[in-house]
Amino acid sequence: MKIIHLLFLLKDYFTFLLIFHLGGSEQRVTYGSVIKLINMDYNVRLHSHDVNYGTGSGQQSVTATHQQEDVNSHWLIKPPTKPSARGEPVKCGDKIRLQHLSTSKNLHSHHFSSPLSGNQEVSAYGVNGEGDSGDHWVVLCSSEFWNRNEEIMLRHVDTDVYLSVSGRQYGSPISGQMEVVGTSKMSSVHWKAGEGLFIHPSDLNHAKEAFEHVHSEL
């Protein structure tokens, strides 16, 4: 019976964590959260998939999609190198990595030309979430912390370009998806956190309390 009780507690906790929030304007985006990033100019979501570029680096392609419900648009927010506490809020000016949840590659850029517009290529790179400094982006926003529904920009650390959508669309095999690029121009560079699983310290405290309660009964 105690094991059954434990299973029910864990089920309730993970059900609680797996609720997807749209988010209020004052709520903070945190490390360990899994989010969709929406480009404000084109209303498309940052996306990747197991399809490599046929030109440039040949790495995994990064695009933007109009589809709201697509598991390939989920990105995990991580610090650049050192571990940070899950649930810690992301500050404006922080360096972050964005790990594509489905393929475990990081959002990346480098000095290759993008295939459609000739801007700087943005790709997904690395193995199991480990890559290099080309995976680092600075969060630019107007307050102390990155708040949900707040417009932000992402500046690439190594090359000083901004994450952007060019407006060009791909053909087969990713027909209709839009080209994501790095650009030095302030055009289509505004993003916000969309749907996601937002982790907060209070969530982790609930888990700790549930575990301690179960442990005391076993």
Domain shared by 3 and 100, yes or no = no
Domain shared by 123 and 165, yes or no = yes
Give the number of domains in the chain. Answer: 2
Domain shared by 5 and 31, yes or no = no
Query: Would you call the peptide bond into 80 cis, given omega within 30 degrees of 0 as the criterion?
Result: no
Q: Provide block-wise average pLDDT over 10 residues at a time, the chain (218 residues).
A: 39 41 62 97 98 97 97 96 83 98 98 98 96 97 94 99 98 94 96 93 50 39
- Per residue in 53-99, pLDDT (tens digit) is 999 999 999 999 999 999 999 999 999 987 767 899 999 999 999 99
pLDDT in the model for residue 82:
74
Domain shared by 3 and 30, yes or no = no
Single pTM value for the model:
0.82
Domain shared by 92 and 167, yes or no = yes
pLDDT in the model for residue 94:
97
Alpha carbon dihedral 88, 90, 93, 98, in 10-degree steps, equals 120
Instruction: Provide the residue range defining the domain that includes 210.
Output: 1-21+201-218
Q: In Å, what is the CA distance from 140 to each residue of 96, 101, 126, 127?
A: 11, 23, 24, 27
pLDDT in the model for residue 149:
86
Domain shared by 81 and 156, yes or no = yes
124 with 103: CB under 8 angstroms?
yes
CATH code at position 54: 2.80.10.50
Domain shared by 124 and 217, yes or no = no
Domain shared by 7 and 48, yes or no = no
Q: SS3 for 72?
A: helix
Domain shared by 53 and 107, yes or no = yes
Domain shared by 48 and 17, yes or no = no
The span from the CA of 57 to the CA of 64, in Å, is 19
pLDDT in the model for residue 123:
99
Through-space distance between the first and last CA atoms of the chain, rounded to whole angstroms: 10
Domain shared by 94 and 182, yes or no = yes
pLDDT in the model for residue 202:
57
Sorted by sequence, the CB contacts under 8 Å of residue 17 that are 6+ apart come out as 197, 199, 203
